[in-house]
Amino acid sequence: MGKIVKETTGRVLIASANPLFGKGLKNMFQRRWGGAARVVAVTTTMELTLNAVDELQPDLVILDYDDHAMNRDEFLNHFVSGEQPMQVALISLREAGDVVVYDRRNLTPTQAETWLAAAWLNSLLPGHSEAGGDAGEGNKPG
Amino acid sequence: MNKKVRLVVVDDHVLFRRGLISLLTDVPEFQVVGEAGDGRSALAVIESSSPDIILLDVNMPVMDGIQTVQELRERKCKLPILMLTISQQEDDLLGALSAGANGYLLKDTEPEELRRSINLMVDGKSILSPDVTGTVLRALTHGPSSGGNNPLSDRELEVLACLAEGMTTNQIGSQLFISENTVKTHIRHILEKLEASNRTEAVSKAIQMGLIQKVN
């Protein structure tokens, strides 16, 4: 506790063994983000992904969770046991359906009090809470 | 200066489609002139944008890729059509090729390989992903496999297997990491495809068809 919540998201890790998906996301978001954020790595195995999470400490991880090279349970266990603020977007290449977003934050007691007063308004997307901090599950993007 | 190759990209997965378009836009000889999220919308986009080649997903809502190829060929459209899909199912592969697709590539293709394939197809060649060539050769030699009567997608089979184990919609969602709404959509498709009136009947029919194993 007592850590300052980061206001900007700057370091992004993309985890997907699918080159068109991983490199496509990297290309697209780097254009959109401009200098505000950068993709620090595109990992293609679970081992590389977990190592990158620990070593690079990204602010956002985009995980292609249906990828056979990835293990979503192993990743989420790793995520839940971590401490640094981090957002995770679970995206499936196999499904054009929902994207699940996890948002882990560290708040001071005062910040938590403010946040709890209207926690549902603080969610990135409308939806219900899940494990690993607060999480919103939104509708599919299209 | 050579004329750019005009592409239309059709895929219901917005993030994949936009990412792919981003990559294609970086290729100097390519110009993405249209995009769509389903086959029905694609027909209008293709008609209005005069592409040189169409990149088409297989599994999409409203009108899937195979139906779209059929419709385009019925309209006397002679453009090269490259199926770009995650599906390695024999039904999808043979269905797309017999409908008139000129190429079938899996989405795990490297961007440079996709670029080469598009250029070859625009030059009149046909393309097959090495991972599916064996399926085509087997089908030509021995005819479609007995699994060819499987109407379900990989994900629908997974959902069906969960149903066979007596899982609830919520439990299936947790197991497969998809929302309950997505599970319900899959179940609706399963019931339609198997012409079953309820989940129990769907499981029973699937076992009879050999799509899933009986759970003791």
Interface predicted TM-score (ipTM): 0.73
Cβ contact B12–A142 (<8 Å): yes
Cβ contact B23–A24 (<8 Å): yes
Which token pair is A123? 């969610």
Structure confidence at residue B145 (pLDDT): 59
* Section A79-88 average pLDDT: 87
Residues 6 or more apart in contact with residue B47 via CB below 8 angstroms: none
Given a contact cutoff of 8 angstroms between Cβ atoms, the answer to whether B35 and A40 are in contact is no
Q: What is the CB neighbour count within 10 angstroms for residue B174?
A: 15
| Interchain contact B107–A (C-beta under 8 A) | yes
Pick A65's closest partner by Cβ from B21, B111, B177: B177
- Confidence band of A123 (pLDDT split at 50, 70, 90): low
CA distance A1 to chain B (A): 31
User: Between helices B90-99 and B65-74, what is the axis angle to 10°?
Assistant: 10
Pick the closest to residue B92 from B73, B113, B108, B106 (CA basis).
Answer: B106
Select the residue from A16, A26, A28, A30 to test the B interface by mutation, using most B Cβ atoms within 10 A.
Answer: A28
Structural domain spans, chain B: 5-136, 144-209
Q: Would the pLDDT of B56 be above 80?
A: yes
Pick B15's closest partner by Cβ from A17, A100, A141: A141
* Alpha helices (H) along B34-165: 39-49, 65-74, 90-99, 111-122, 130-142, 154-164
Which residues are paired to B6 by β-bridges? B31
CATH number given to B5-136? 3.40.50.2300
> Cα(A108)–Cα(A30) distance, rounded to whole angstroms?
32
Which token pair is A36? 């505000």
Side-chain-facing half-sphere of A126: CA atoms under 13 Å: 2
Q: Would the pLDDT of A136 be above 70?
A: no
Which token pair is B148? 């060819």
Could you please state the CATH topology (level 3) that the domain comprising B144-209 is classified under.
Arc Repressor Mutant, subunit A (1.10.10)
Structure confidence at residue B182 (pLDDT): 81
Q: Within the 132-171 window of chain B, which residues sit less than 8 Å (CB to CB) from chain A?
A: 154-155
Side-chain-facing half-sphere of A22: CA atoms under 13 Å: 25
Minimal Cα distance from B86: which residue of A? A94
Structure confidence at residue B40 (pLDDT): 92
Question: Whole-model pTM?
Answer: 0.71
Cβ contact A24–B20 (<8 Å): yes
